[in-house]
Amino acid sequence: MHLFVQACILGLLTGGVYALMASGLALGFGVMRVINVAQGALIILGAYLSYTLYSHLGIDPFVGLLLLTPAMFALGVLLQLVFLRPLRDEEREELSLLVTWAMALGIEGLLSVAYQTTYRSTITSYADRSWTVFGYYISVARVFAFVASFVVLGLLFAVLRYTKLGRAVRATVQNPTAARLLGVDTRMVSAVGFGLSVATASAAGAVYGIVFPFNPGSHYDLISRLLSIIVLGGLGSLGGAVVAALFMGLTEALFSAEISPTWSSFTFFIVLIAVLVVRPQGLFGARVRGAI
C-alpha cells in the first residue's frame, strides 16, 4: 500500500511535467494542425539552455525560466515563419510531421556539436533533498517542477481565456474558417500559437532538466511519450492533453512500481493501443470519420 501511494505521488508529479510538455504539442496542433515532432527536441534545448544558465551564470533554473521563455517564444515564431508557413494548407498536416522531424534532427545535431553526448543534469542545491510527509518521500525538486509546470500551464490557460489574443487563438482552434470570417488574422495567430507552444517547451525543459538526466538523444523518449499522450487526450484538446498526461504519469509510475521498471515506458503504448481500439478519437477529441 505504501508503495502504491508512493508511486501515485511520483506519478502525479511526473504527470504534471508531462502535462506542460503535452499542452504545447496540443496547442501547436490546434492552431495550425501541425504535429510538432520537434517538441521533444525543443524541450531538450530548453533543458540545455537552462543548464547552461545555471552552470555558467549561476542562475537558478526557475529564475532562468523567465529569461528563457520569451527567447524561446521568439524562436518558435521564427521556426513557424521559416519552416511551417510556406507549406500549403492541404499538405500541411502531412508534411509538417516530416518537416518538424527534420527540425528535431537539426536541433539534436546542433546540441550534440555544442554539448557532446554526455548526460547532463541541472543539479541545483535542492536537487537531492526530499521531504518526508506521513512517511512518504517526496523529492523537493519534483515538487518544484510540478508546481512550476502548473503555474506555467495556469498562465497559458489564463492567456488563452482572458486575453484578446487568447480568444483569437481559441477561435482559430475551434474553427479556422469562422475565425477568419470574424476578422481574426489566422496567420498571426498561428505564429503566436506556435510561439506559445515552443515557449512552454522551454519551461518544460528547464523543469525537466532538474529532475532527469538528459542528452541530445533524449528527445526521442520524450516525443514518443508526448505523442501517445495527445492521441489519448484527443488531438488539439489542451484540457485533454493535461488529463491524459496526469493519467499516463500515474499509470507509468504504478506500472513501474508494481510490475516492472524496465517495461514502464510500455504503459504509454499499451494505453495508446487500448484507447485506439475502443475510441480512436481519444478521450476528448472530435470524431474524424465521415464527411459532414
Partner 1 sequence: MSALLEVEKASKRFGGVVAVDECSFSVQAGTITGLIGPNGSGKTTVFNLITGYLPADGGQIRFDGRVVGRPDPTRLARRGLIRTFQQARVFPNLTVVENLVLAAPQSWRSAGRPRVSRAERALADELLGDFNLGAHAGTVAAELSFGQRKLLEFAATLMSRPRLVLLDEPAAGVNPVLVETIERHIRRLHAQGLTFLVVEHDMPLVMRLCDPVIVLDRGRKIAEGPARQVQQDPNVLDAYLGA
Partner 2 sequence: MRAALVFGVLSALPFGFTAAWVQNLFIFTLMYAALASAWNIVGGYSGYISLGHAAFFGVGAYAIGILFTHTSIGGGYRPFYALPLVGIGVAIGSLPVAWIAYRTRAATFAIVTITLLFVVQQLAFNLRSLTGGSQGIAIPTPSFPVATYEEPFYYAMLGILAMSMLASWSIRGSKLGLALLSIRDDEDRARGLGVQTELAKLTAFAVSCGLVAMAGGVWAYYIAFIYPQFAVDPLITIGMVLMVYLGGKGTIWGPVLGAFILVPAQQYLAYRLGASRLYLVGYSAVFLGVMLLLPRGILPSLGDRARKLRVRRVPPEPRVEEVAAS
Instruction: Pick one of partner 2, partner 1, none as the site partner of residue 29 (Cβ within 5 to 8 A by kind).
Output: partner 2
Compute the C-alpha angle 57/39/117, nearest 5°.
55
88 binds partner 1 (CB under 8 A): no
Q: 191: which residues sit within 8 A by CB, 6+ positions away?
A: 77, 80, 81, 85
Decide whether 57 or 90 has the Cβ nearer to partner 1.
90
Of 206-225, binders to partner 2 (CB under 8 A) are 216, 220, 223-224
d(CA 170, CA 156): 12
Decide whether 101 or 136 has the Cβ nearer to partner 2.
101
Burial class, 41, CB count within 10 angstroms (exposed 0-12 / middle 13-18 / buried 19+): buried
Q: What does the longest C-alpha to C-alpha distance in the chain come to?
A: 58
291 binds partner 2 (CB under 8 A): yes
d(CA 163, CA 199): 17
Q: State the binding string over 263-292 for partner 1 (x if CB under 8 A, else -).
A: --------------------------xxxx
Crossing angle for the helix pair 2-32 and 219-233, to the nearest 10 degrees: 80
Decide whether 98 or 188 has the Cβ nearer to partner 2.
98
Binding site for partner 2 (CB under 8 A): 29, 33, 35, 37, 83, 86-87, 91, 93-95, 97-99, 101-103, 105-106, 108-110, 112-113, 117, 216, 220, 223-224, 227-228, 230-231, 235, 262-263, 265-266, 268-269, 272-273, 276-277, 280, 288-291
